[in-house]
Amino acid sequence: MEWVAIHWKLISLFTVIHFTLGRSFSVLFAIFNQMPVFLYFPLALAYDYVQIPVYGIILEHSSRSFFPVRWLKNKSDHFLGHLDERSFLKKVLALGNVGLILLSALPIRGFGILSGSIVSFFLRKGKFEGTVLLMIGSFIGIFIIMGIAKGIFKIIALF
């Protein structure tokens, strides 16, 4: 707990990065700044967990036209519009629940909790089932980023 009191600026930056740039960048930021795993791992999971119902509520009330709903509706229309162009994304979504987990886990642009929430909504997953699948994806995604960071450190160590 003492570490948190001393390094509250890092935690604040982690939070801002997570909500603006996404889980991949926030976890990489935490690893590069040597934050304890037992701090950033639950924080990233909690932040993703908070995002799921927010996106769900916005999608359910998408008939209203205030800014966040318009923004999310435009984002979902854009996502679905480019679905035909992305054969990899089509293959992932064809996997059903596993595809939804991969969609929320993979650290690729256009994937993540927002995209997973949109797809979960359009696949008519229940709130509980969709949240569980997205959180499993978030959990796996954090491990993927940790593995990528470890690989980067090994490559840097070669030089």
List pLDDT tens digits, range 44-86: 999 988 888 887 777 776 655 555 556 666 766 666 666 556 6
Phi-psi region of 2 (alpha: psi -120 to 50; beta: other; left: phi over 0): alpha
pLDDT at 53: 82
CA distance to 38, 111, 140, 154, per residue, from 147 (Å) = 16, 18, 11, 11
Average confidence (pLDDT) over 123-132: 86
119 close to 103: Cβ distance less than 8 angstroms: yes
pLDDT in tens, 100-116: 888 888 887 767 888 88
95 close to 102: Cβ distance less than 8 angstroms: yes
Residue from 123, 130, 109 nearest 48 by CA = 130
pLDDT at 16: 93
pLDDT at 102: 85
Asked whether the predicted pLDDT for residue 19 surpasses 80, the reply is yes
Residue with tokens 């796996």: 140
Mean predicted lDDT score pLDDT of the chain:
81
pLDDT in tens, 136-153: 999 999 999 999 999 988
Asked whether the predicted pLDDT for residue 43 surpasses 60, the reply is yes
Is-above-0.85 flag for pTM? no
Give the number of C-alpha atoms closer than 13 A to the C-alpha of residue 108, restricted to the C-beta side. 13
Average confidence (pLDDT) over 132-139: 92
Residues 6+ apart with CB under 8 A from 128: none
CA distance to 26, 142, 150, per residue, from 156 (Å) = 20, 21, 10
